[in-house]
A = this chain, B = another copy of it.
């Protein structure tokens, strides 16, 4: 049952929920340009307390393809809001203006708090360091579209597995399916947090930790994340780590399975070499493109039901 639902944490969604979503996304993809009447009576609120051009534009495009309008605030303005007014008053105000609110915030739990305050549905567009459910839905949908299945696949996650909410959300999302194995490739200082690991294993995922990048050789999906400088107290350590977890064509040709696909939530800095862009491994631009139909499907399901 999708109608009226808050989308806070991907763990709240069953395999069946997600399959309904993927089917709807397929429909959106096929009919992307003929759906302007779908949500034409709807206004979507964008409450981006933390800036995010990419996710914001993706939601906005999805809304507008369905004929909905958007109203909200982003980045800089958010500062003045944060200053003048409490989070809950802002959400309460938006709740009385619009029909659904997309929330992005740097603190964990902000979206959940918003859902307790608002009567209208809340969609979490990323809060704190654990949850980014719509990115995970998109990543699962991309995998499904590329491989025609999620079950039985091996996923390798590379880079900063400790602070990336993209990684933890996708791992949570995978617990609704039966992947073969999850390979976690990171420097020891950026390992997946224990709390994420425990949830994943409890729900039946097989996780394997590796430090060496050659471990991608078993993976069908190679999921790359950025390593952020500010995580390292020691700059030399940063440079060393960064060098070791850089994916390029040579490395993929040498180690990756023939039909492996590379995902990345973008933006990338230099952890993902441009020389992969025109190879068979590249799937991150496909992934970006599928952000529109999956978010169209999500908005439609939450607002109008199945």
Contacts and interface: CB of A to CB of B under 8 A. Distances in A.
Given A57-B72, A74-B77, A266-B85, A96 B64 contact: no
Oligomer copy total: 3
Interface in A20-75: 33-34, 36, 40-41, 43, 51, 53-54, 57-58, 60-61, 64-65, 69, 71-75
A32 to B, nearest CB: 9
B85 A73 contact: no
B36 A51 contact: no
A228 B281 CA distance: 50
Q: In this complex, which of A34, A64, A269, A289 has the most chain B Cβ atoms within 10 angstroms of its Cβ? A: A64
A81 B69 contact: no
21 contacts: A34-B41, A43-B65, A51-B80, A53-B73, A53-B80, A57-B71, A57-B73, A61-B71, A61-B98, A75-B76, A76-B77, A86-B268, A90-B267, A93-B266, A93-B288, A96-B285, A96-B288, A96-B289, A96-B292, A97-B289, A97-B292
Nearest to A54: B93
A75 B77 CA distance: 8
Contact of A57 (B76, B94, B267, B291): B94
A86 to B, nearest CB: 8
A86 B58 CA distance: 18
A271 B281 CA distance: 57
Contacts of A266: 85, 89, 93
A76 B76 contact: yes
A60 B71 contact: yes
Nearest to A84: B267
Interface in A208-230: none
Contacts of A54: 93
Interface in A64-117: 64-65, 69, 71-77, 80-81, 84-86, 89-90, 92-94, 96-98
Given A43-B65, A53-B81, A75-B77, 10 more contacts: A34-B41, A43-B61, A53-B77, A57-B94, A60-B71, A76-B76, A76-B77, A84-B269, A89-B267, A93-B288
